[in-house]
Amino acid sequence: MLFDVFPVGDLLLRNRVVMAPMTRSRAGQPGDVPTALAAEYYAQRTGAGLIISEASPVSPSGHGYLWTPGIHSAEQVAGWKRVADAVHGSSGRIFLQLWHVGRISHTSLQPGGAAPLSSTAKRADAQAFGRDAQGNPAYLPCSEPHAATGAEIATVVNDFRRATENAIAAGCDGVEVHGANGYLLDQFLNGALNDRDDDYGGSLANRARLLLEVIDAVVAVAGPGRVGVRLSPHGSFNDMPADPEADAMTLYLAEQLGRRGLAYVHYVDPQFNGYADGAQLLRQARDKAGIPVIVCGDMDRSKAERYLQEELADLIAFGRPFIANPDLPVRLHMGAPLNAIDEATIYGGDAHGYTDYPALR
């Protein structure tokens, strides 16, 4: 099943293997621009039915880490065009992941040194990667955010819309909205964190409002068949508190996303996040959405095939194995051993640990 062709939105994928989005922190400076080296990296991995790019901030205020490529300037669009052209030159498909980190940031990364925005003014017990008082790159405690105003929320929606225009102009096959892992949109979804008393807080519908407004703005540009969204039910990454309404929100969003006919919804496996009833939740969400479901989280071939057979997912995303194995689908198909990851080269650096992992001969 894993190697069957499969339709996703407007595309027919060569297999059900998806390359998950992974931050590698190698954007060219100045300007956080994707480089020729990034184009080579992604082109090496086009054996995947679909590549989802590393997360790309939709605006200057959307950054939380140094050296991550954006999608909000003309130079960045040109850089991503080089990547998309390289992927298409190797018969691959790529969706660009759209990102706003919200409170997972530091004032050194924000325009004018401003406080990051979020659903709340609660500081995250997490780290950003910014610059210390001496201007040196450093891991730093996240700065205290401010609760976004109505005008700022409208700006965020427009930033995602414009970023989608940029991604399509760059030649990407579609976009994935990052609504997971404790970043901005997830900060609105989580009922234990979102303490607003306006139209963006309180009920399920209100807490989901920003995500769905973003989705609608993105779909208006790209069409539903070129749009996916990533969610992380029961995720705790980036200091996300346990949400007693996580199941209810997951199923509410599944219904809403299904109504919009998106290309797919991409879940970080709730079981990977430690939720014992994760399989049941995935099955319910997949049934309610009625659109293709991608699942990621510590996958190997055996686990991937089981998730497909048990109808927990339609496609399987692999993250870390793709770092060290540019030909991962071939290795999975053959049952060949995998290269080990050089942990020291995951974030930042040059070609070493990025484009120099060997493929099978």
**Catalytic residues, which ones?**
183
CA distance 230 to 269: 11
DSSP assignment of 256-288 equals: HHHHTT-SEEEEE-TTTTT-TTHHHHHHHHHHH
In the three-class reduction of DSSP (H, G, I as helix; E, B as strand; rest coil), residue 113 is classed as helix
- For residue 291, give the nearest of 270, 308, 314 by alpha carbon: 314
Q: Parallel, antiparallel, or unpaired for β 127-131 and 17-19?
A: unpaired
CA distance 257 to 243: 21
Q: What are the E-state strand segments in the chain?
A: 6-8, 11-13, 17-19, 50-52, 56-57, 94-99, 117-118, 127-131, 137-141, 146-147, 174-178, 227-231, 264-268, 293-296, 315-318
CA distance 324 to 346: 10
Tokens of 250: 């997951």
> Is residue 130 packed enough to be buried (19+ CB in 10 Å), middle (13-18) or exposed (0-12)?
buried
Tokens of 280: 């049941």
